[in-house]
Structure 1
Amino acid sequence: MTRLGYGEQIRRWRVEKYKEKDSLNNALSSAITVMNARSSYATVITAGSKAEGLTCYYESDRDELFVLEVILCVETGISLHTIPDGIEVYRMDTCAYSGHCRLLLERQTRKHYDVIHNALCDNGHGEILLSSSLFLDEMSAYFPTDSSVVNHERAGPSLPISAGREFHTDIVFALRCHCPSILQRWASRPRHWPSPVLVQKVVSLGANVTAVGFKESEYKHMEWRIGFNTGESELVNNLNETQAKVYVMLKMIVKDVLRPSKKEITSYVMKNIVLWQAERNPQNKFYAQSLLHWLHDGLRALRTAIVTKQLSYYMIPERNLMAASGLTYRQQSHWVEVITDMMAEGPRVILGLPKIRRAIVASPEPMLWYSMKRMELEMLELEHTNRLVPCLENGVLDKSDPILKEIRRRKREVLMEIKLRMIEEGYVVNGLTDILDQMLK
């Protein structure tokens, strides 16, 4: 697992570099808005597997959360006097399906944005609601297009885009949410993990709402989903090495073995299974030699979730992550049989995962060499991405920057070393860009 890019060193490196990228981009955005005498509109946060450091550079889509800073959603009982006048406030009506809410306009600011104003609706009872469906329509139309960027069909609250052959990003617009009662219910649960200090940090990171309702709700076009992206990333980043590798392997099983066609089961389900494992069991039980035990335990939990169509959301247990999953009886029967067979295989279960199987059968020395080169390339690529931000001025890149030049020089040098070795080993070799893409998948 370490040689495939899931070791602690590269995992921690990725986490820090994506945090650094967000900080640089948001600082640049703030500087631009200050110069233009405008208020900051959104804070960009890397979320999902990239924020958790558990995927290689091109291995999966990037999830980016655009949190609008001009709006705050609050629970009933929160005094408006505690909220600055320049913030538009919506009251959360949590009578919707668990983990979802409707947003009632409580206080509008004199200066408001058209994308928000155009999504407001009268519910016929003298109340103004913010429609999640209209909001997403407005953001889709507002979102800038570029000749180098391809916009794809909406997926839930996400506006997917791609640039080039390997660069795919799921953009989700979110509103800040102040829901202390929900977070306190989570924080007060008896648990083995996380520690009290980490619990309070997660609480301090707060929540957000995204523009997607419950699939089977009559009012889904008006509903918003409550989420805790930054808090969940913090929790995953504090899993130990064994727990993180169980999470990665469960995701591999879903992607490479079960292969759902319409996201009937997602990696998010796997994340919640691992978080429940961590909370309910003493940390000293998660060590290297116990990895297969916990993998089997995770498979057992997944099998139960498929059979019962029930898995509680870690942050709001009343929300069922398997509700409206679209699972058919045929899929249930097939996947239960597949998982049961995998569990019966014992340690050989890992040989059913193509990526791990190839690493096991590969010759140790070449595998280690390519692993080290892959790690260096990814570190260089992350450094290169972050260095681009301070080298931009008025949209023009300063290519003379010595650090940027040195990163590019070393990256080309490493790619040439890989190319020469591949030629020596009899492989058909394409250009350096193709080699980079393949190494960082």
Structure 2
Amino acid sequence: MFQRPSYTENVSLRLSEVLADIGVDERIVQKRRRKWLLRESTQTISSQLQDRNASAYLLGSQCEGTTTLGLQSDIDVLVSHNDINVIQDWADWEPGFLNYLMIQDETVSSGYCLLQLLRPDAPLPYNVLDQEHVRDRTGRILHKNIHISAVGAKVWKGGVRHGPAYARQRQSGFIDIDTVGALPCKSWPLQARQWLDQQGVGQWPSDDMKRYCSSTGCFVVGVGKKDSENEELEWRISTSLAERCLMFNLNITQIRCYVLMKMILKTFIKPYFGDTISSFMCKTGLFHCIANTYSNVWRENNLLVCLSLYLFVLNSSIFNEYCPHFIIPGNNLMRGHISHESKGYILEVLQYVINSEGRALLEMECDHLGARIQLKLSYLLFEFDIEIKENLSTLISGNLLNCTAQLNDMVIKRCLTLITNSSYKEAIQTLLKYIFKLVIIFNQCQGLDKTASSLLVPQFCTTLGTILASLNIQQYNGISVEALTWISLGLNTDVSSSKLKLASMLYCIGDSQRTEVVLRDIETNYDLNIVEPICRCHDFMCQPYRKGFHATADNHNEEAIQYTTAVCVKFLPCEINCVPRELRYEMFKSTQEDLAFRGDDKWMYWAVVDSLPYLYFLQYKTYSYHRIQKKQRALFNLTRTIDQESNLGHRETALNLLGQCLEQEGRARDALRCYLLSLNLRERNNAAKFHICRMLFTLANDQ
């Protein structure tokens, strides 16, 4: 095939351009990797703040940058339980840990192991049974792999089990998440040591890459080989960090081949046979293909030939039902996975794609790939095609920035739930602990760990300052220098939320002049063409973000959070004295009947409001007594924001605030309408019920 070099080169270049248009280029790949590795650091730090000895690792296509918007790749999260030490050599036994010896003998499937429990006081076998362990025929106490799955079922409630993972799936508007628990082993697996000395014609991976891979150790995951006699005792050996290293060292042509292969599966195979051929099999096939192909083949103007070579490798693997794990070759990934019926169809499809010399790609609807290729080849560069090119790059960047901001908000929320019902003293001590831990991480770590801690610590400073101010107001109706100092350390977390807390506490002590100054500063910096509301209190379907937000995100990394996002404003019960009377109702939003419907949503004990509506509400209250025109402008802006801002997470709260403003204006009927609209949005745990009852009581007494 490909007897015409000019045709092959032309199609390869156009195909490379199309893939760049949909976000598969060096810049966007690096943006994706940075964002997901930052998320990995943030999630691990979150565990440390909550005194959990665990690390999170984000794996798979999202973190590798080997995906597109149309592929809708899920997120693979591996949670390593670091208080457990899995060893392959008795010399690696450590006191203070739960130690297991990895058993890899002829009774265990290749790529798997058994875990023998060791004594806590010495590197010797343990001899006491419990529900998590079983004694085998030789007398060894072995860890059952079903225990970690049972733990996972409790942690990831509502998830669907897929092998060792728990998946959050099919929630409209949200990425699927597969979370798996794992046990860490610091040493490189015995079954993979031969791989370190192998080298194919492509001279890939390099010796440096292999040295790094061997330093990553491995994990064991709680799932046995299917149909193995030890299925409930076997643990799969995972070299996922080494595999991620290999993916991070691919060039852009190799990445594009992998993306195209996933699109081929999505178009021609998955609709009929699901995940018979998994993306991990495709990834492994790509590794083998690169290792056995000269490196100068992998060029942009040779993309079509590279894809063909890759297809031949996968075709051969399926035909022989043999796809050896790249690092642990004794583990055949395809064994028992392909039925006779599906095998024939899949081979036929792959042969069709190979023989088509690229024409089969025109049939692919994912990311409109086929239509885009046709436009490129016919040189019909319509105006809308250029717009699509620009929008996809900025769209991806905007999504990445928004996800980073949402994760930070979620981490803060999770930590604050632990002090929801705390006393002033307990809350202050806990927040100081969080802050000191983050400062230590910032000073001791480098790279994205330092970045993650710097993004989190200011928000805790803000909350600490507000709690101190609330205590000050309770004691002497003023605010101490200490409280203001802590608040000042967190004023630039985002465009508005921290500054709004400052304005709120100033309003509560009657300092209207300084309140007005802060509110004016917020409004000046809140660019309605750029700033997006951020809320992770609950899951709701977000509408498309502003073009200005996407454009700004495309030119910056996570630092853009400070001037492109507006996080919802959260007040804990111990901050109540910094909360205006109208918003305090939100802390008591639940009837006795409603309490049963709260679930684990601790934020419902808080007063939470979106930044922009709260800005206009505070302006209305600040201007109420002496600036009628500005007061009416604030009321108009509050009404307009509730009607037109599509991504408010607490619209019902904003309606409750608007209703109380309208009551103060003497517009009782309009106020009642606001409360009813609020109740339509959130039927339970809504302060609107109280406002409606209060209004009806007042009206009845007046009559």
Normalising by structure 2, we get a TM-score of 0.53
Q: Residues 29 and 66 of structure 2 are in contact (CA less than 8 Å); yes or no, is this contact kept in structure 1? A: yes
Distance in structure 2 (CA, Å) of the matches to 1:21 and 1:262: 30
1:261, distance to aligned residue in structure 2 (A): 3.0
Query: In structure 2, which of residues 209, 225, 231 is the aligned counterpart of residue 220 of structure 1?
Result: 231
Q: Residues 74 and 179 of structure 1 are in contact (CA less than 8 Å); yes or no, is this contact kept in structure 2? A: no
Q: CA separation of 1:56/1:184 partners in 2, compared to 1, >3 Å: closer, same or farther?
A: same
3-state SS of paired residue (2:168): strand
Q: Residues 299 and 339 of structure 1 are in contact (CA less than 8 Å); yes or no, is this contact kept in structure 2? A: yes
Query: In structure 2, which of residues 518, 530, 547 is the aligned counterpart of residue 410 of structure 1?
Result: 530
- 2:510 is aligned to none
Q: Residues 173 and 211 of structure 1 are in contact (CA less than 8 Å); yes or no, is this contact kept in structure 2? A: yes
Query: In structure 2, which of residues 299, 308, 312 is the aligned counterpart of residue 300 of structure 1?
Result: 312
Does residue 343 (structure 1) correspond to residue 354 (structure 2)? The answer is yes
3-state SS of paired residue (2:349): helix
1:416, distance to aligned residue in structure 2 (A): 4.7
3-state SS of paired residue (1:6): coil
- 2:279 is aligned to 267
> Partner letter of residue 84 of structure 1?
E
Deviations 1:243-278 (A, max 9, x none): 111111111111211125352211111101111111
Distance in structure 2 (CA, Å) of the matches to 1:276 and 1:408: 51
3-state SS of paired residue (2:232): helix
Query: In structure 2, which of residues 407, 412, 416 is the aligned counterpart of residue 395 of structure 1?
Result: 416
Deviations 1:156-195 (A, max 9, x none): 1111124653232000111112335334321111231122
Q: Residues 156 and 166 of structure 2 are in contact (CA less than 8 Å); yes or no, is this contact kept in structure 1? A: no
3-state SS of paired residue (1:373): helix
Query: In structure 1, which of residues 172, 176, 180 is the aligned counterpart of residue 180 of structure 2?
Result: 172
Q: Residues 188 and 215 of structure 2 are in contact (CA less than 8 Å); yes or no, is this contact kept in structure 1? A: no
Pairing 1:176-325 to 2, within 5 Å after superposition? 176-177=184-185, 178-191=187-200, 192-259=203-270, 261-325=273-337
3-state SS of paired residue (1:222): coil
3-state SS of paired residue (2:358): helix
- 2:98 is aligned to 88
Distance in structure 2 (CA, Å) of the matches to 1:195 and 1:404: 46
> Partner letter of residue 127 of structure 1?
R
> Partner letter of residue 94 of structure 1?
Q
Q: Residues 46 and 65 of structure 1 are in contact (CA less than 8 Å); yes or no, is this contact kept in structure 2? A: yes
Q: CA separation of 1:216/1:83 partners in 2, compared to 1, >3 Å: closer, same or farther?
A: same
Structure with the largest fraction of strand: 1
Q: Residues 377 and 411 of structure 1 are in contact (CA less than 8 Å); yes or no, is this contact kept in structure 2? A: no
Q: Residues 113 and 234 of structure 2 are in contact (CA less than 8 Å); yes or no, is this contact kept in structure 1? A: yes
1:288, distance to aligned residue in structure 2 (A): 0.8
> Partner letter of residue 337 of structure 1?
E
1:4, distance to aligned residue in structure 2 (A): 1.3
The number of aligned residues is 401
Does residue 154 (structure 1) correspond to residue 161 (structure 2)? The answer is yes
Distance in structure 2 (CA, Å) of the matches to 1:170 and 1:186: 28
Q: CA separation of 1:404/1:24 partners in 2, compared to 1, >3 Å: closer, same or farther?
A: farther
> Partner letter of residue 301 of structure 2?
Q
Q: CA separation of 1:404/1:201 partners in 2, compared to 1, >3 Å: closer, same or farther?
A: farther
Distance in structure 1 (CA, Å) of the matches to 2:351 and 2:527: 48
Q: Residues 90 and 103 of structure 1 are in contact (CA less than 8 Å); yes or no, is this contact kept in structure 2? A: yes
Q: CA separation of 1:144/1:244 partners in 2, compared to 1, >3 Å: closer, same or farther?
A: closer
Distance in structure 2 (CA, Å) of the matches to 1:401 and 1:215: 53
Q: CA separation of 1:230/1:210 partners in 2, compared to 1, >3 Å: closer, same or farther?
A: same
Q: Residues 59 and 76 of structure 2 are in contact (CA less than 8 Å); yes or no, is this contact kept in structure 1? A: yes
**Higher relative contact order structure (alpha carbons within 8 Å, sequence separation ≥ 6):** 1
Q: CA separation of 1:411/1:286 partners in 2, compared to 1, >3 Å: closer, same or farther?
A: farther
> Partner letter of residue 333 of structure 2?
L
Distance in structure 2 (CA, Å) of the matches to 1:368 and 1:60: 25
Does residue 69 (structure 1) correspond to residue 82 (structure 2)? The answer is yes
Distance in structure 2 (CA, Å) of the matches to 1:233 and 1:63: 12
Deviations 1:189-217 (A, max 9, x none): 12311222111111111111111111121
3-state SS of paired residue (2:23): helix
Identify which range, 352-361 or 86-95, moves more after superposition: 352-361
3-state SS of paired residue (2:204): coil
Q: Residues 284 and 326 of structure 2 are in contact (CA less than 8 Å); yes or no, is this contact kept in structure 1? A: yes
1:373, distance to aligned residue in structure 2 (A): 2.4
Deviations 1:385-431 (A, max 9, x none): 3334555264379697553667996265984559xxxxxxxxxxxx9
Distance in structure 1 (CA, Å) of the matches to 2:137 and 2:532: 63
Distance in structure 2 (CA, Å) of the matches to 1:117 and 1:4: 54
Q: CA separation of 1:370/1:395 partners in 2, compared to 1, >3 Å: closer, same or farther?
A: farther
Normalising by structure 1, we get a TM-score of 0.83
- 1:377 is aligned to 395
Deviations 1:206-241 (A, max 9, x none): 111111111121221111111111111111111001
Distance in structure 1 (CA, Å) of the matches to 2:266 and 2:527: 34
> Partner letter of residue 186 of structure 1?
W
Distance in structure 1 (CA, Å) of the matches to 2:63 and 2:646: 27
Distance in structure 2 (CA, Å) of the matches to 1:104 and 1:331: 39
Distance in structure 1 (CA, Å) of the matches to 2:528 and 2:121: 48
Q: Residues 384 and 407 of structure 1 are in contact (CA less than 8 Å); yes or no, is this contact kept in structure 2? A: no
Q: CA separation of 1:379/1:395 partners in 2, compared to 1, >3 Å: closer, same or farther?
A: farther
Q: Residues 119 and 138 of structure 1 are in contact (CA less than 8 Å); yes or no, is this contact kept in structure 2? A: no
Q: Residues 98 and 318 of structure 1 are in contact (CA less than 8 Å); yes or no, is this contact kept in structure 2? A: yes
Q: Residues 285 and 314 of structure 2 are in contact (CA less than 8 Å); yes or no, is this contact kept in structure 1? A: yes
Identify which range, 286-295 or 327-336, moves more after superposition: 327-336
Distance in structure 2 (CA, Å) of the matches to 1:62 and 1:395: 26
The structure having more radius of gyration, on CA atoms, is 2
Query: In structure 2, which of residues 56, 67, 90 is the aligned counterpart of residue 79 of structure 1?
Result: 90
Distance in structure 1 (CA, Å) of the matches to 2:121 and 2:336: 37
> How many percent of aligned residue pairs carry the same amino acid?
23
Q: Residues 87 and 93 of structure 2 are in contact (CA less than 8 Å); yes or no, is this contact kept in structure 1? A: no
Distance in structure 2 (CA, Å) of the matches to 1:59 and 1:407: 31
Identify which range, 231-240 or 183-192, moves more after superposition: 183-192
- 1:360 is aligned to 373
Distance in structure 2 (CA, Å) of the matches to 1:303 and 1:281: 16
Q: Residues 286 and 310 of structure 2 are in contact (CA less than 8 Å); yes or no, is this contact kept in structure 1? A: yes
Identify which range, 392-401 or 274-283, moves more after superposition: 392-401
Structure with the largest fraction of helix: 2
Query: In structure 1, which of residues 49, 55, 59 is the aligned counterpart of residue 61 of structure 2?
Result: 49
Deviations 1:65-115 (A, max 9, x none): 00110112222xx134x44311222112223111011111123479xxxxx
Distance in structure 1 (CA, Å) of the matches to 2:165 and 2:22: 29
Distance in structure 1 (CA, Å) of the matches to 2:528 and 2:254: 35
> Partner letter of residue 530 of structure 2?
R
- What runs of 5+ residues in structure 2 fail to find an aligned partner? 1-18, 123-128, 418-455, 463-490, 497-525, 534-543, 549-644, 648-703
Distance in structure 1 (CA, Å) of the matches to 2:531 and 2:391: 10
Q: Residues 135 and 141 of structure 2 are in contact (CA less than 8 Å); yes or no, is this contact kept in structure 1? A: yes
> Partner letter of residue 162 of structure 2?
A
Deviations 1:109-151 (A, max 9, x none): 79xxxxx9642222254321111123312331x3154xxxxx2
> Partner letter of residue 333 of structure 1?
G
Distance in structure 1 (CA, Å) of the matches to 2:528 and 2:53: 33
Deviations 1:349-376 (A, max 9, x none): 3213223103224663323323322322
Query: In structure 2, which of residues 46, 49, 68 is the aligned counterpart of residue 28 of structure 1?
Result: 46
Q: CA separation of 1:219/1:84 partners in 2, compared to 1, >3 Å: closer, same or farther?
A: closer
Identify which range, 22-31 or 11-20, moves more after superposition: 22-31
> Partner letter of residue 7 of structure 1?
D
3-state SS of paired residue (1:9): helix
Distance in structure 2 (CA, Å) of the matches to 1:404 and 1:132: 47
